[in-house]
Amino acid sequence: MLIEFKVNAKQYKMDVCPTMRLLDLLREELRLTGTKEGCGEGECGSCTVIMEGKAVNSCLVLAPQICGKEIITVEGLADDRELDLLQQKFMEHSAVECGFCTPGMLMSAKALLMKNPHPTDEEIRTAIAGNLCRCAGYSKIVAAIKDAADA
Ligand code: FES
Ligand code: FES
């Protein structure tokens, strides 16, 4: 089926299989491989992207569901010249170990700050509750998000 959508401010029109997952559309069709696949069943958050301003698990979204929608992936955070403030704060706080969860964490955090620019620690923890970090770097991740919000 033919769908139209926007990813990182770029408009696309594509003929897709109706059962294709958004995760596969991003990684395999658009070659935006920053979005990671962990569990593939909505449990780990590593595939998180922002759809219409809300964090979603791209492994649970089918291509037809993005018709007419706007998606932001981790590649859409930085502009040509500089990293997004959240990315800078993750670096400053060493909130990255293996890095596998990082794109998903960043997108959940970005979705939070888009609707709530000054969240409490509790609100930050709730926003990233669906993002698992196997390196258990949660304290640094929360501190980085808090610092980005306070900047
Ligand atoms: S890969 Fe989508 S939630 Fe784990
Ligand atoms: S930094 Fe390794 S999974 Fe989070």
pLDDT in tens, 88-114: 999 999 999 999 999 999 999 999 999
Q: Which residue has the higher pLDDT, 29 or 136?
A: 29
What was the pLDDT predicted at 151?
84
- State the CATH number of the domain containing residue 133: 1.10.150.120
The encoded tokens of residue 72 equal 């932001």
Query: Which residue from 51, 61, 67, 52 is spatially nearest to 2, judged by alpha carbons?
Result: 67
| Ligand 1 midpoint to CA 2 (Å) | 25
Same domain, 19 and 57: yes
Pocket residue to mutate for ligand 2, from 46, 101, 108, most atoms within 8 A of Cβ: 101
What was the pLDDT predicted at 76?
97
Domain that holds residue 33: 2-76
Counted domains in the chain: 2
Ligand 2 atom with least separation from CA of 99: 1
Same domain, 72 and 89: no
Does the reported pTM lie above 0.85? yes
**pLDDT tens digits, one per residue of 1-39:** 999 999 999 999 999 999 999 999 999 999 999 999 999
Question: Residues of 74-85 as b/e, b for ≥16 C-beta within 10 angstroms?
Answer: bbbbeeeeeebb
Q: Got the DSSP string for the chain?
A: -EEEEEETTEEEEEE--TT-BHHHIIIIIS--TTS--SSSSSSS-TTEEEETTEEEEGGG-BGGGGTT-EEE-GGGTS-SS---HHHHHHHHTT--SS-SSHHHHHHHHHHHHHH-SS--HHHHHHHTTT---TT--HHHHHHHHHHHHH-
Is pLDDT at 123 greater than 90 in this prediction? yes
**pLDDT tens digits, one per residue of 42-86:** 999 999 999 999 999 999 999 999 999 999 999 999 998 899 999
Ligand 2 atom with least separation from CA of 46: 3
Distance CA 76, CA 58 (A): 15
What was the pLDDT predicted at 21?
98
Pocket residue to mutate for ligand 1, from 26, 39, 49, 74, most atoms within 8 A of Cβ: 39
- Mean per-residue pLDDT for 130-147? 95
